Amino acid sequence: MSIAIISDVHANLEALTAVLRDAEGRGETQVWCAGDTVGYGPDPAAVLDALVQRDAMMVAGNHDLAACGKMGVEEFNPVAAEAALWTRRTLSESECALLASLPLTRTSGDFTMVHGTLRQPEWEYLLTPEQAIAQFELQATPYSIVGHTHLPMVVREDGGRPAMLRLLPDTTIELGGERLILNPGGLGQPRDGDPRAPYLLYDEESATVSFHRVPYDIGGTRRKIRDAGLPEWLGARLERGQ
Ligand code: ZN
């Protein structure tokens, strides 16, 4: 079994479609999504539908909770708030109910998945060794999957002195040794300077996780953002991967 591990799709259908096609070509049979499935992007309903069709295992991110009204937008920056309210107006009642029903954490086998961190699932950005130590303390499985930062990363426990390593395309991580925290990056809104859509592929048989980047029709997404009346900056940042 191979599992595509994705996060922060942010209603970017073109990026999601390209990633799923790439993952299928590598033998993907299942999808796990670490939250922020909607928000910012122009296709929240279609993205949700694509993941539901695949019976994806999902957790809630802050943007998902804002989109369904479970969280206010007071803590959001103005552009994020505007997009969240647009998303809330766009989704149907049943789509909102689906988002509202998502858990904050999910565990499957050796993996626990959460959007931010285990101590603060909706809000905390896991960026420092101190935060990684706190995560490892709460982590009951060998591996955890986080999103939220939009930065692809693997954190090695390394005897209690966590090493934060940025992931480069076609890196393969061998599982079975120390405990790890994995971040697949922001599929629908990369922020590490590479505009291609990032994802991880977990191959159960070989006990490896590999990191991949997939080009997609950024211009198409950008046009949809403009046509939807969403802030133009949200399209521009996709081109830069920032
Ligand atoms: Zn996000």
DSSP string, 41-96: SS-HHHHHHHHHHTT-EE---HHHHHHTTSS-STTS-HHHHHHHHHHHHHS-HHHH
N residues, the chain: 242
SS3 (DSSP) at 11: coil
CA of 64 to the centre of ligand 1 (A): 9
CA of 9 to the centre of ligand 1 (A): 8
pLDDT of 160 reads: 86
CA of 141 to the centre of ligand 1 (A): 24
CA of 159 to the centre of ligand 1 (A): 30
How crowded is the C-beta side of 40, counted as CA atoms within 13 Å? 26
pLDDT of 177 reads: 83
168 Cβ contact partners less than 8 Å away, ≥ 6 residues apart:
211
Q: Which token pair is 177?
A: 């040794």
To which H or E segment does residue 101 belong?
none
Per-residue pLDDT tens digits of the chain, which is 242 residues long: 899 999 999 999 999 999 999 999 999 999 999 999 999 999 999 999 999 999 999 999 999 999 999 999 998 999 999 999 999 999 999 999 999 999 999 999 999 999 999 999 999 999 999 999 999 999 999 999 999 999 999 999 988 899 999 999 989 999 998 999 999 999 999 999 999 999 999 999 999 999 999 999 999 999 999 999 999 999 999 999 99
- Please, what's the b/e burial string for 95-129 (b: 16 or more CB within 10 A of its CB; e: otherwise)? bbebbeebebebeeebbbbbbbbbebbbebebeee
CA of 21 to the centre of ligand 1 (A): 22
CA of 148 to the centre of ligand 1 (A): 5
CA of 94 to the centre of ligand 1 (A): 22
CA of 188 to the centre of ligand 1 (A): 9
Strand partners, 153: 166, 183
Q: Are 68 and 59 in contact (CB under 8 A)?
A: no
SS3 (DSSP) at 230: coil
CA proximity to 61, closest of 148, 179, 189: 148
pLDDT of 104 reads: 98
CA proximity to 33, closest of 125, 127, 91, 111: 111
CA of 56 to the centre of ligand 1 (A): 18
